[in-house]
Amino acid sequence: MKPSPNYDFSISVRHQPCEQEPEVAALYQGIFDVILNHTVSIMFVPNIEINSYNWPPVLSENIDDIFTEIEARLITTGLSKYTVTPNLLLAGKEEIIPQTGSDYCQSGVVFFVTPEEFDIFSMELSRLAEQIPSLHSSKKVSEIQDLNFIKFIFSRIMSSKYFAEQDLQILGREKVYF
């Protein structure tokens, strides 16, 4: 299905353990992919231990060799255009994750939130993923506009100077310049 710009666009939610091979699925527990209008993906990734050894995420030669939850979270973040993750010290900030030499990697943006905000988002995403379990299932924004993670997407992600103009167009929006 080719997406067309639509203010009341569709949203689907995929819990990442369901998208992975059984032997590594548990490592992706708590990671959700929120897909807007069938094309714009925003990953919600639980706490990432940010330190000088793993930040920004550098992808290994073989991204399929994952042995820990932290590796799964870092790889997900490194491969994502938009990521939301909790970090008490960085909450409210946005950070560009540069390309790191792997063929798989692209520049992305990480949006930091408080752990409490992330817990609320995770509960909402978990419930919504149960309501729309199929890859082709979705809800319209108007049906779930009161959920906190939707409000966050509109107020922080889509209004960010780092949100791609092309993605705004896919969602039936335009860049607002102040």
- pLDDT tens-digit series, residues 54-113: 666 665 555 566 778 888 888 888 888 999 999 999 999 999 987 654 455 467 999 999
Residue 63 lies in a domain: yes
CA–CA distance, 89 with 36 (Å, rounded to integer): 29
pLDDT digits (tens, 9 = 90+) for 59-72: 555 556 677 888 88
Q: Where are the beta strands (DSSP E) in 66-107?
A: 82-86, 94-97
Half-sphere exposure of 11 (CA within 13 A, CB side): 24
Degrees, nearest 5: CA angle 106-13-15 = 80
pLDDT at residue 52 above 80?
no
Residue 154 lies in a domain: yes
Residue 30 lies in a domain: yes
Task: Give the pLDDT confidence score for residue 43 in this predicted structure.
Answer: 95
CA–CA distance, 39 with 35 (Å, rounded to integer): 6
Residue 89 lies in a domain: yes
Degrees, nearest 5: CA angle 45-155-159 = 95
Domains held by the chain: number: 1
Residue 1 lies in a domain: no
Is the separation of the CB atoms in 90 and 47 below 8 Å?
A: no
Write down the mean pLDDT value for the chain.
82
Phi, psi of 44 (to 5 degrees): -105, 110
- Greater pLDDT, 12 or 99: 12
pLDDT bin (cut points 50, 70, 90) of residue 177 is: very low
Residue 2 lies in a domain: no
In terms of residue numbers, what domain contains 36? 10-170
Task: Give the pLDDT confidence score for residue 116 in this predicted structure.
Answer: 98
pTM of the model: 0.85
Residue 178 lies in a domain: no
Is the separation of the CB atoms in 153 and 42 below 8 Å?
A: yes
Task: Give the pLDDT confidence score for residue 178 in this predicted structure.
Answer: 36
Is the separation of the CB atoms in 21 and 33 below 8 Å?
A: no
Residue 177 lies in a domain: no
A 10 A CB-CB count for 97 gives: 20
